[in-house]
């Protein structure tokens, strides 16, 4: 990821790498993973928050709803992630997923 939003202050123009470590997969309904920040080689950055994410696929009226839940250890960690652009990043990812699904 590369921050292209000048409003993100110190994070602008910085690159960030991520590492997903899957903890549980329950086909076809859900999966859970730890989301770490890392360097390009996959070395975890211990100074940044870790989020545990569970993604569920819920059937509703013949359609599939995606439910994404993220858990961090503290309010401060959540605030740091929000300030780093987590909401914008997740929104961008889900928008891309929606476009991808529409083409299939």
Residue-wise pLDDT tens digits, 54-99: 999 999 999 999 999 999 999 999 999 998 888 988 898 899 999 9
Asked if residue 29 has pLDDT above 90, the reply is: yes
Asked if residue 11 has pLDDT above 80, the reply is: no
d(CA 40, CA 20): 13
Domain assignment of residue 2, yes or no: no
Domain assignment of residue 95, yes or no: yes
pLDDT band at 38 (very low <50, low <70, confident <90, very high): very high
Domain assignment of residue 8, yes or no: no
Exposed / middle / buried, residue 99 (Cβ in 10 Å: 0-12, 13-18, 19+): exposed
For the chain, give the mean pLDDT.
92
Number of domains in the chain: 1
Predicted confidence at residue 104, as pLDDT, reads 83
Residue 83, domain extent = 15-102
Asked if residue 9 has pLDDT above 90, the reply is: no
Domain assignment of residue 87, yes or no: yes
Extended beta strands in 1-104, E state:
17-26, 30-38, 51-60, 63-71
d(CA 19, CA 1): 12
Predicted confidence at residue 59, as pLDDT, reads 95
Overall average pLDDT of the 45-59 stretch: 96
**What CATH number should be reported for the domain holding residue 89?**
3.30.530.20
């Amino acid at each position: 990821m590369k921050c292209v939003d000048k409003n993100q202050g110190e994070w602008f123009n910085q690159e960030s790498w991520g590492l997903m470590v899957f903890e549980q997969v329950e086909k076809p309904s859900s999966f859970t993973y730890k989301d770490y920040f890392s360097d390009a080689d996959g070395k975890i950055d211990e100074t940044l928050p870790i989020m545990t994410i569970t993604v569920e696929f819920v059937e509703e009226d013949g359609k599939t709803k995606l439910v994404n839940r993220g858990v961090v250890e503290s309010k401060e960690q959540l605030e740091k992630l929000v300030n780093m652009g987590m909401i914008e990043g997740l929104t961008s990812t889900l928008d891309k997923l929606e476009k991808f699904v529409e083409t299939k």
